Amino acid sequence: MTRLRNQLYTIVLGTFCLITIVMAQGYDEGRAAYIKGDYKNALEILRPMAEAGDAQAQK
């Protein structure tokens, strides 16, 4: 039982880390598009993140 619980914790933690990395990359891409003046692309990238509650994307 302990082994199964440890495996579950590992899977949950790994998933959380991957989601965080993907969101960070999305934010960086959206910010870069905004800085370049590509507001349409920036909005397409950042809006879903902002609606999901990402504070950085809401700035």
Mean pLDDT, the chain, integer: 82
* Sheet strands (E) in the chain: none
Which has more confidence, 18 or 7?
A: 7
Q: Which of 28, 26, 30, 49 shows the shortest CA–CA distance to 38? A: 30
4 within some domain? no
49 in a structural domain: yes
Q: What digits encode the pLDDT tens for the residues 37-52? A: 999 999 888 888 888 8
Confidence tier at 32 by pLDDT (50, 70, 90): very high
Q: How many domains does the chain have?
A: 1
> Which residues form the domain of 44?
16-59
pLDDT in the model for residue 38? 94
Residue 29 is assigned to a structural domain of this protein: yes
Percent of the chain with pLDDT over 90: 17
